């Protein structure tokens, strides 16, 4: 474990990504301390420029403090990104592993089911699900999880299929290990790197989908989110760039940080690189 950590920290991508991510996490953690009030409350006059009236990032069309919104939004974005990715990974990896490792009939069934989901445009399905289930933070997570699993399932299936043919897997079978143990101990660990990388991308996409949902007014009305802020500031972007730029920048930083961490994690989890 030590060596894995060492490799991770020896990658510039890992250090930069982790630092940025730590900043975002810190923002989420400190939001209620620094801005104890609700981010929805008016803090001053509308259309304040950044720095004016002690508002670091200015205020929006309703006079709400953008900095407070960005800080509080970090909590929502991280929560939704991580929770919905976990949901997607749980569904996708389980189905993909079963499809790749069991007989052709089960495989066919799962692949067809995956294709059904893939033919429906992601975002439309997410909107539909949230609209039917009424917007709340948990329905948003569920909806994003449901639209994000098919690529993970396909990738896992392909990975498992190719790893399952390698000789060390057959060797494990010859040792008498049960199918379950072969799958969990030999096949999945060797198939996992690209899945982790894709999952980290999925966190990023989930944050983007959430942003888009909030942008359309389908976010949880109790939580301030970056997507909502970008959406709200969009109409006045020519007059007040800061309303969309700061939350947009927050999305960008978070997504990049997660991708960098995923990349470094990929190297660190590969013993050939981490032990060389």
Partner 1 sequence: MTLLSVENLSIRLPKGADREHAVSEISFDINPNEIVCLVGESGSGKSMIAHAILGLLPPKVHADQGRLGFAGKDLLQLSKSETMALRGGDIAMIFQEPLTALNPLKKVGEQVGEAIRVHQPTIAREALTTRVEELFTQVGLPDPSRLRKAFPFQLSGGQRQRVMIAMALSNNPKLLIADEPTTALDVTTQRQILDLIKDLQEKRGMGVLFITHDIGVVADIADKVVVLKQGRIEEQGPAASVLDTPTRDYTRMLLDAVPGRGSVQAGETHANPLLEVKGLQKEFVTRQGLFAPPRRVLAAGNLNLTLREGETLAVVGESGSGKSTLARMVLRLIEADDGAILWHGKNVRGMGREALRQYRRRAQIVFQDPYASLDPRIPIGESIARGPMIFGTPRAEAEADTRQWLDRVGLSPAAFDRFPHEFSGGQRQRVCIARALIMKPELVIADEAVSALDVSVQSQVLDLLSDLKSEMGLSMLFITHDLRVAREIADRIIVMQSGRIVEMSAAQTLFDAPQEDYTRRLLDAVPGRDFFARQQARAAV
Rule CB under 8 A: say whether 171 interacts with partner 1.
yes
Rule CB under 8 A: say whether 194 interacts with partner 1.
no
Q: How many Cα neighbours within 13 Å face the side chain of 23?
A: 14
φ and ψ of 42, to 5 deg:
-70, 135
Distance CA 65, CA 88 (A): 34
Distance CA 215, CA 211 (A): 6
* Site size for partner 1 (CB under 8 A): 20
Distance CA 108, CA 274 (A): 37
Rule CB under 8 A: say whether 174 interacts with partner 1.
yes
Rule CB under 8 A: say whether 173 interacts with partner 1.
yes
From 150-158, 183-191, 203-211, 240-248, span contacting partner 1 (CB under 8 A): 183-191
Binding track, positions 232-271, relative to partner 1; x by CB under 8 A: ---------------------------------------x
Binding track, positions 8-37, relative to partner 1; x by CB under 8 A: ------------------------------
Burial class (CB in 10 A: 0-12, 13-18, 19+), 108: exposed
Distance CA 248, CA 267 (A): 29
Rule CB under 8 A: say whether 190 interacts with partner 1.
yes
Distance CA 260, CA 20 (A): 10
Question: Judged by CB, which is closer to partner 1: 5, or 171?
Answer: 171
Residues in touch with partner 1 (CB under 8 A): 166-168, 170-178, 181, 185-186, 189-190, 271-272, 275
């Amino acid at each position: 474990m030590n060596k894995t950590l060492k490799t991770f920290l020896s990658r510039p991508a890992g250090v930069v990504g982790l630092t940025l991510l730590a900043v975002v996490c810190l923002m989420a953690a400190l939001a209620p301390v620094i801005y104890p009030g609700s981010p929805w409350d008016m803090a001053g006059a509308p259309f304040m420029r950044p720095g004016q009236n002690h508002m670091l990032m200015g205020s929006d069309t309703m006079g709400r403090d953008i900095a407070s919104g960005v800080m509080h939004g970090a909590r929502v974005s991280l929560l939704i990104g991580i929770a919905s990715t976990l949901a997607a990974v749980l569904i996708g990896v389980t189905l993909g592993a079963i499809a790749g490792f069991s007989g052709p009939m089960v495989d066919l069934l799962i692949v067809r089911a995956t294709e059904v989901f893939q033919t429906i445009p992601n975002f439309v399905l997410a909107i539909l699900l949230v609209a039917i289930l009424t917007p709340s933070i948990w329905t948003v997570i569920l909806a994003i999880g449901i639209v994000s699993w098919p690529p993970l399932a396909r990738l896992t299936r392909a990975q498992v299929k190719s790893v399952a043919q390698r000789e060390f897997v057959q060797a494990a079978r010859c040792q008498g290990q049960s199918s379950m143990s072969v799958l969990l101990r030999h096949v999945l660990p060797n198939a996992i790197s690209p899945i982790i990388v894709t999952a980290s991308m999925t966190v990023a996409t989930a944050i983007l989908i959430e942003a888009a949902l909030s942008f359309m007014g389908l976010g949880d009305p109790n939580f301030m989110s970056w997507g909502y802020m970008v959406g709200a500031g969009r109409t006045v972007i020519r007059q007040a760039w800061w309303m969309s730029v700061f939350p947009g920048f927050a999305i960008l930083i978070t997504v990049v940080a997660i991708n960098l961490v995923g990349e470094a994690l990929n190297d660190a989890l590969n013993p050939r690189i981490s032990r060389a």
